[in-house]
Chains A and B, each alone.
Chain A
Amino acid sequence: MRGRIFSIEEFATFDGPGIRTTVFLKGCPLKCTWCHNPEGQSFSAEYVRSPNGCLACGACIAHAARRADGSLLLTEASKNACPRELVRLCGEDVEVGELCERILSNSDIFHSTGGGVTFSGGDPLGQSEFLLACLSYLNGKTHRTVQTCGYASKDVFLRVLDHCEYMLFDLKIMDRAAHLAYCGVDNAIIHENYSALVRSGVDFVTRVPLIPGVTDTAENMEAIARFISGLGVQYIELLPYNSMAGSKYGSLLREYKPRFDPKRKLCWGSDIFKHYGIVSKKM
């Protein structure tokens, strides 16, 4: 079975315990306006261009196609036209066994450091059958972590939970309407899956990306704290937003439109979490 990935990072330092390799699966059901990995959003392979050494000759644009919404899309012709070979295809189809063997080539290092593999994305649950095939292949061979936004059918989510030792679960916005507005989907299923995760007994960490004025508001932090402490969770990790989130949009000929003020100072909400008996850690 084949799946689509866009990067493999050896020695990913913030994706779970020990020394880990993180595999980034292509495609995400969400559309967060602050997404720092826009090339991970689409399930299709896309051409991207590297800005460095670019002559601004426009050859790639001249060979670009148009998306349904009218925006430009780099093509294979763009790739062939670039005199500096800066255009490349992002998204590679790999066979389960081939990918897993490559990961396992470092399993001795994972073993001696308490590490393993992390599947991230996009959202790895977006290619759930491929993800499950990989997780099964790796069963008993190394420690498996899944990093997810939790937007998947209950059935898929439970099966994935059954096949991993560790989960990094992102919570973003508690308010349904705001979640829909900023992330493009309803969050009810995310909360259900989160509850299932807590009940499952699988080791996990809850993470919140702090987006200025969006997720770091007192109301949202309070809602998150109430929600997770109600389930008995006492630890949370906060990932600060920084203005570099938009750095890759240009490579996709897309514009970064975060719809909030990226320069606003972040609120850490430590007191709020403390009030609910939750230890919060800045990452």
Chain B
Amino acid sequence: MTQRVKKQLALLNAREYRNRRADPPMDPKEADERFEETMMGEAQRFCYAVSCEKEAVFYGEDLFGFNRYCKGAISRGNFGNVVIDYAKILKSGLCGILDDVKRNRAHADAYANEFYDAIETFYAACFDICDTYRSAARKNGNDRLASALEQVPRHPARDYYEALVMLRFLSYILRLNRCTLLPLGRFDVYMKPYYNASIAKGVTREEILELTELFFISINFDTDLYIGIQKGDNGQSLVLGGCDREGNEVFGELSEICLKASEELCLIDPKINIRVNKSTPISLYERGTKLTKQGLGFPQYTNDDIAIPYLTSLGYELEDARDYAMAACWELIASGCGADTPNRHRVVFPEVVDIATRLDLVECKSFDEFLSRVDQRLEAHCNNLMKKYPSTYNDRTDATLLSSFISPCIERGRDAKNGGAKYFNVGFHGAGISTAADSLCAIKEGVFERGEFSAEELVSAIKANFEGYDEILKKVLSYPKMGNNDDRADSMGAFLMEKAVKYIHGKPTPSGGVFRLGTGSAMGYVTFADKIGATADGRLAGTPFASSFSPSPIAKLRGPLSNIKSFTKFDMRKICNGGPFTIEIHDTVFRNEEGEKKVAMLIKTFIDREGHQMQINAVNRDVLLDARDNPDKYPNLIVRVWGWSGYFVELEKPYQDHIISRTEFTV
């Protein structure tokens, strides 16, 4: 890390810069009233926001600028979480896009002209703020930035630095226009020409690394103003590797530099995703594991062998499927031409099973009969979700500026929400699959196969949150659970997923797209779990489900190998909207190269077995503190203590404290 990077990082981490921001001059509610909900109204609102940003703000020896002048409480936009066409914007500049607008005016209808007028108004304000920064940079003696701003954003970027300035600028204006979740897409693909140009000009790889690090730092400024569901949920995910539109592997020097930058900085943004496939060499996983070791919870791996066929099966063209990127968390989205809404609703599997248990189980004479009731309720649940999706979007607000960056909105003269984008599909999460599968398994084993208790007894036990039903609770807890490579539980998961796929995958949406299904939970594993009482698997009321595609938190597991086998039994090619298999590994495992290599082998094993997506967490202090106070939540947290491993919750408190103190510096 160079001195300059260190200084900027210190500035960021000190957070004092936040105190200097001016109070919001504009109340978003007031603005909502003042500006019409038309495309032009949106543009005018943006012009106003730009005018509130009175001065250029630089921090330290800032090479990028575009920091917020005012606190400007920006109400959350309602459109975002798409990957804009970075390649095109870098290649043509905003003036190039305006040329496209002019050309397309020739055959424009009234709607298109309104759209184009708005874009021109937006861009004029963009140029204003750009000029503010350019003259301020010149005045401050920041000639490098000033010169770059003579080229970008108006004109095409010519080298790596100019391209980065363009990205910083785009992020600034889009967020000023209320777009909260803003993924960075396939950085090592669209930045490669500019990287090559700089290298050809004699820029060294060390200089590229420094620039990349400074850029990564810059996108962490002001993130407190753009909060998604939680702090840190700002969608700045970045994808590395995978194949290009022609099918050739792209992971290369620049990808390597990004990993290194992320590893050195230990910042939450950008969140790194790596695309892999069965031919990915172990060395890449080893490289990624060095980043995992930092305890940030990424990189996240996504398997091209599953993702690409999944997307083509939904109607994405092969080239677009190969060019997929990540939305804010883990959802697959098309690069530059998609307006997919990848997380519209959730199939809550445990809720379906729970309702069937409480209402239908007692009447059922056989397990098969019960399963068919579950199936009926699942179908109704899925249909209901699909019905909830509105047939048209009236709330066009906030889509206009973003749409000018999504293909082929300009050509079509339509914003992304109204038919401008090539893809307009709708994704559903699939939450709590393990809890649902374990519950089915418990019913099958306990009521029908072993006859250890009756359906009535089980239902009463669940209704009583198992209070006074200790024997039944003990039994259901002892039955097979997903995550132990036991077909009795895993087959239940397969049943539920297969059926949900049947009801959702590829079904048409009212607005011309298709529905997609995934295995993510987002915050649903807590929020939905709260709404459901105790479940048949022995989960007590108030206990969360697993996060995304993972064993239930109450399952006592054999270990990571059985766990991986359990979760790689299903054909994921039809249920790959996103939602990773998540595994926690204590960071002491990463303490030397041998441990790191084995973690890499574990990830490769998951991918080679056709797992779709994986997240590995080197467990950190916060989790451990929580585990100390709530041991029941973490029965399977394994810690390497010395030459041996143990369950964290089984250690005595002083030793737990010791391990916690050891993790102090990992994050």
* A and B: bona fide binding partners: yes
Residues from chain B with a CB closer than 8 A to the CB of A247 are 641, 646, 651-652, 655
Q: Does A235 contact B (CB under 8 A)?
A: no
Using known A-B contacts A52-B650, A109-B561, A283-B592, determine if residue A9 contacts B655 with beta carbons closer than 8 Å.
no
Question: At the interface, yes or no: B643 with Cβ under 8 Å from chain A?
Answer: yes
Chain B residue numbers with a CB within 8 Å of A243 are: 658
Is A77's CB within 8 Å of the partner chain B? no
Q: Which of A239, A244, A251, A282 has the most CB of B within 10 A?
A: A244
Given A50-B650, A105-B485: A10 and B561 interface contact (C-beta under 8 Å): yes
Contact A36 to B655, CB < 8 A, known contacts A11-B602, A19-B601, A105-B562: no
CB pair B558 A19 closer than 8 Å:
no
| A10–B640 touching, CB < 8 Å | no
Give Cα distance in the complex from A12 to B602, angstroms.
Answer: 11
A51 within 8 A of B: yes
Contact between chains at B643 and A9 (CB < 8 Å)? no
Chain A residues with Cβ below 8 Å from B631 are 52-53
A241 at the interface (CB under 8 A from B): yes
B595: chain A residues within 8 A (beta carbon): 13-14
* Chain B residues whose CB sits within 8 angstroms of the CB of A248 once the complex forms: 646
Please indicate the chain A residues that have their CB under 8 angstroms from the CB of B601 in the complex.
Answer: 18-19, 113, 115
* Cα A177 to Cα B646 with chains together (Å): 33
CB distance from B549 to the nearest CB of A (A): 19
For A21, give the chain B residue with the smallest CB separation: B561
Whether A112 pairs with B608 at a CB distance below 8 angstroms is yes
When the two chains form their complex, are residues B605 and A209 in contact, meaning their CB atoms are under 8 A apart? no
The distance in angstroms between the C-alpha atoms of A12 and B646, with both chains bound, is: 11
Which of chain B's residues 620-667 have a Cβ closer than 8 Å to chain A? Answer: 631-632, 640-646, 649-653, 655, 658-659
Q: Smallest CB–CB gap between B6 and chain A, Å?
A: 29
**Which secondary structure characterizes the binding site on chain A?**
mixed
Total interface residues on A, CB under 8 Å, equals: 36
Q: When chains A and B are docked, how far (Å) is the Cα of A243 from the Cα of B641?
A: 10
Minimum CB–CB distance for A170 against chain B, Å: 9
Give A245's nearest chain B residue, CB to CB. B642
Question: Which A234-250 residues have a C-beta within 8 angstroms of B?
Answer: 239-245, 247-248, 250
Shortest CB-to-CB span from A118 to chain B, Å, is 12
B-chain residues with CB within 8 Å of residue A109 when the two chains form the complex? 561, 564, 605
- In the assembled complex, B559 has its CB within 8 A of some CB on chain A: yes
Evaluate contact between B558 and A8: CB separation under 8 angstroms.
yes
B589 to nearest A CB, angstroms? 5
Contacts of B598 in A (CB 8 A): 11, 13, 18-19, 113
| Mask of B482-495 contacts with A, CB within 8 angstroms, 1/0 | 00010000000000
Identify which of A37, A115, A241, A282 contacts B644 (C-beta below 8 A). A37
Bound-state CA distance A208–B641 (Å) is: 17
Q: Would A244 and B558 count as touching, CB distance under 8 A?
A: no
* A229 beta carbon closer than 8 Å to chain B: no
Check B605–A244 contact: CB distance below 8 A: no
Instruction: Kindly state the separation between the CA atoms of A241 and B642 in the bound complex, as whole angstroms.
Output: 7
Chain A 104-124: CB-based contact to B (< 8 A → 1; otherwise 0): 011001001101000000000
Which residues of B (536-586) have their CB < 8 Å from a CB of A? Answer: 558-562, 564-565
Interface check B246, CB cutoff 8 A: no
Quick one: given A10-B560, A52-B631, are A239 and B642 in contact (CB under 8 Å)?
yes
Question: Which of A11, A106, A241, A242 has the most chain B CB within a 10 Å cutoff?
Answer: A11
Shortest beta-carbon distance from B334 to chain A in Å: 33
Instruction: Encode B578-612 as 1/0 by CB contact (under 8 A) with A.
Output: 00000000000100101100110110110010000
* Residues in B whose Cβ lies below 8 Å from that of A250: 652
Contact A113 B485 (CB under 8 A): no
Q: Tell whether, in the assembled complex, residue B561 and residue A11 are in contact, meaning their CB atoms are under 8 Å apart.
A: yes
Expressed in whole angstroms, the Cα–Cα distance for A50 and B558 within the complex equals 19
| A–B pairs, 29, beta carbons within 8 Å | A8-B558, A10-B558, A10-B562, A11-B560, A11-B561, A12-B645, A19-B598, A19-B601, A19-B602, A51-B650, A51-B653, A52-B649, A52-B653, A105-B562, A105-B565, A106-B562, A106-B565, A109-B561, A109-B564, A109-B605, A113-B598, A113-B601, A115-B601, A209-B643, A239-B642, A241-B642, A244-B659, A248-B646, A283-B594
A residues apposed to B, CB below 8 Å: 8-14, 18-19, 21, 36-37, 50-53, 105-106, 109, 112-113, 115, 209, 239-245, 247-248, 250-251, 282-283
- 8 new A-B contacts, CB < 8 A, other than A19-B561, A245-B642, are A10-B561, A10-B562, A13-B595, A14-B643, A19-B598, A112-B608, A250-B652, A251-B652
Q: Which 9 A-B pairs have the closest CB atoms?
A: A10-B559, A247-B655, A52-B631, A11-B560, A51-B652, A10-B561, A113-B601, A106-B561, A13-B598
